[in-house]
Amino acid sequence: MTQLHIEETNGRHLNVAFSPSGNDFFDLSKHDPETIVEISPNGRYAKLNTVLGKGAYKVVYKAIDREEGYEVAWNCFQTTKAQFNALSQEISILKEVRHPNIIAFHDWWYSKDNEFIFVAELMTSGTLREYIRKLSLPNMKIVKRWSRQILKGLIYLHSHDPPIIHRDIKCDNIFINGAHGEVKIGDMGTAKMKLGKKYTVIGTPEFMAPEMYDEKGYSEKVDIYAFGMCLLEMVTGEYPYNECKNAAQVYKKVIQGSRPECLNKVQDPEVLDLINHCIAPENERYTARQIVNHPFLLVEPEVVLLTMDPEKVNLSLQLVFKGMDKLAVKFNFNVVKDTAEEVVGEMIEEQVLLEKYKTLITHEINRILRELNKIQNGDDQNKEEANSLWPISGASSTGYGGSRSNIALTISPGSMAQTQMERNFMNGMISPLYPGMEPNRRREWLNDPEDSLPMREYPNDTPIEEFVSDTAQALHRDMEKARQWTDKLKKEDIMTVGDLRRLHDEDWAGIKLTVFATRALKNALAESTRLRSPRSTASTNSNGHEEGL
Ligand SMILES: Nc1ncnc2c1ncn2[C@@H]1O[C@H](COP(=O)(O)OP(=O)(O)OP(=O)(O)O)[C@@H](O)[C@H]1O
């Protein structure tokens, strides 16, 4: 490539390079290599000559953290020393804010050029607003994923003691890391600790809740209102109150309670309902935790095959909630005896899975069976044999009494770090087995029938309904479920806990309770037996159940 140095008539110097054909040329001055132009007072951060962006108040450069080797964002903000000093307390609080969905704030100082400089986590793909424009309209899956992440950040800020109010949530202040689809709340410069109600009118008019304008003060709920407007922008691609010509018009509409026109364009009833809950009057407005449990944001589950025996008859499957890798429902599936419909029906019946996922999960299980069928067919070329081995949807079943051993809620390693929000998600989809109990504990209990339920001792003459209702409650099942279990037991003349204790394994199978219910009651019984005095537990059988008492 030929390179030339050209001096233009206006005195500007250009470095250009011609391609070998001579038809193309490149302006090399636009491709200056990145060079260090400034070092932070503590020597840790090196500012580069690359501008990441410019806003109304600040210029943001790329920089390098020379201690960790990370790229960071170097923000320059013109301000007086007095203003900088006034901000110092808030800034030191922001340095403590550490959450995967909030841009980390690393360091700050006041420069000799009267600039407040702060170093923050660098985001690679611009703002949510730019992204929405780029994608024309993001699909609902993306909107859901973004929303969940923003809400995780808000839950964190609002659960801080005292709560931190961001006060300027909008799509321009939410940043994206494109490679991983990560979304983080940025521009924490307006954030404030809520020590009592806040009064300062601050933010962007289109995203400001009406109570921000009255002198009664406002709370962290203003961020929820702003999130509602962001969601509106995400689903319509329009800036809220686009119909207004200036901030005064927006203000007038907001205090009159007039909704943005683009709200009429929202088609999806779930999204509309969610936005309405976000922009409702302050006392009716949802909290970030409530929003995250809204049906629109519930995560869609899928099924994965974990293991299978060499005969490929007993499969271990797992229901995984996408985006929530720590939450899963593990269950065994016998391809000869079980059908997807039955298993899913049982999960719904036992309130392990929401009814709305019935078709999806049935389809998912059948998809796995079909895949296995394909493998089988490919392996031995014997279609007939393969079909008999893999009874897919609707195939006759010999029943599953006792063969499908369990549906277990499992939490993968690292679950102790599970956030409250994730637990809330979980509560929305799967009933918590023991509220307040550590996730690991649940897993142990469910995987090990010998493990215990947190119940009391039940004498033999305890009415069966009392025991069943306590068990259902401990498992967070509703009372209707308890009644169904009791009815089935009473049909078999089981009126007391003593009657239940006298049952043998084959008797249990005859009661026609689901595998899950049988397992739950057996475990509760074993626990109750364990809690009895050593004298009375002397004659327990191998399952921990008393015999003949
Ligand atoms: N952490 C970051 N990582 C990467 N780019 C960033 C980061 N922070 C800001 N930018 C870029 O710099 C631009 C200006 O930043 P920002 O919008 O926060 O400036 P501002 O003056 O505070 O904003 P506004 O004009 O919205 O009031 C952004 O649009 C973005 O492109």
**447 or 241: which carries more pLDDT confidence?**
241
Distance 106 CA to ligand 1 centre (A): 16
Distance CA 282, CA 273 (A): 16
* Residues 506-535, mean pLDDT to the nearest whole number: 75
Find out whether the beta carbon of 53 lies less than 6 Å from any atom of ligand 1.
yes
Find out whether the beta carbon of 174 lies less than 6 Å from any atom of ligand 1.
no
* Residues 408-437, mean pLDDT to the nearest whole number: 31
27 forms beta bridges with: 16
Distance 293 CA to ligand 1 centre (A): 31
Q: 301 preceded by cis ω (within 30°)?
A: no
Give the active site residues. Answer: 168
How high is the ipTM of this complex? 0.96
183 forms beta bridges with: 176
Element housing 108 (H / E): strand 105-110
Find out whether the beta carbon of 184 lies less than 6 Å from any atom of ligand 1.
no
Structure tokens at 148: 């969940």
Find out whether the beta carbon of 455 lies less than 6 Å from any atom of ligand 1.
no
Residue 301: partners with Cβ closer than 8 Å, 6 or more residues away: 319, 320, 321, 322, 353, 357, 360, 361, 364, 429
Kindly tell me the burial class for residue 284, based on how many C-beta atoms sit within 10 Å of its own C-beta (0-12, 13-18, 19 or more): exposed
- pLDDT for res 190: 61
State which of 47, 52, 71 you would mutate to test the pocket of ligand 1, scoring each by most atoms of that ligand within 8 A of its C-beta.
52
Determine the distance from the C-alpha atom of residue 313 to the mean position of all C-alpha atoms in its chain, rounded to a whole number: 34
% pLDDT > 70, the chain: 71
pLDDT tens digits, 188-219: 766 565 444 555 666 788 999 999 888 778 88
- pLDDT for res 198: 57
Counted residue by residue, the chain has a size of 549
Distance CA 124, CA 35 (A): 19
**490 or 11: which carries more pLDDT confidence?**
490
Distance 53 CA to ligand 1 centre (A): 6
pTM for this one?
A: 0.58
Angle at alpha carbon of residue 327, lines to 440 and 227, rounded to 5° = 125
Instruction: Report the nearest atom of ligand 1 relative to the CA of 53.
Output: 12
Quote the mean pLDDT of the chain: 75
Residue 334: partners with Cβ closer than 8 Å, 6 or more residues away: 313, 314, 315, 400, 403, 404
* Residues 153-169, mean pLDDT to the nearest whole number: 89
What is the SS3 assignment for 405? coil
Kindly tell me the burial class for residue 187, based on how many C-beta atoms sit within 10 Å of its own C-beta (0-12, 13-18, 19 or more): buried
Beta-strand pair 115-121/105-110: antiparallel
Find out whether the beta carbon of 54 lies less than 6 Å from any atom of ligand 1.
yes
What is the SS3 assignment for 30? helix
Start-to-end Cα distance in the chain: 95
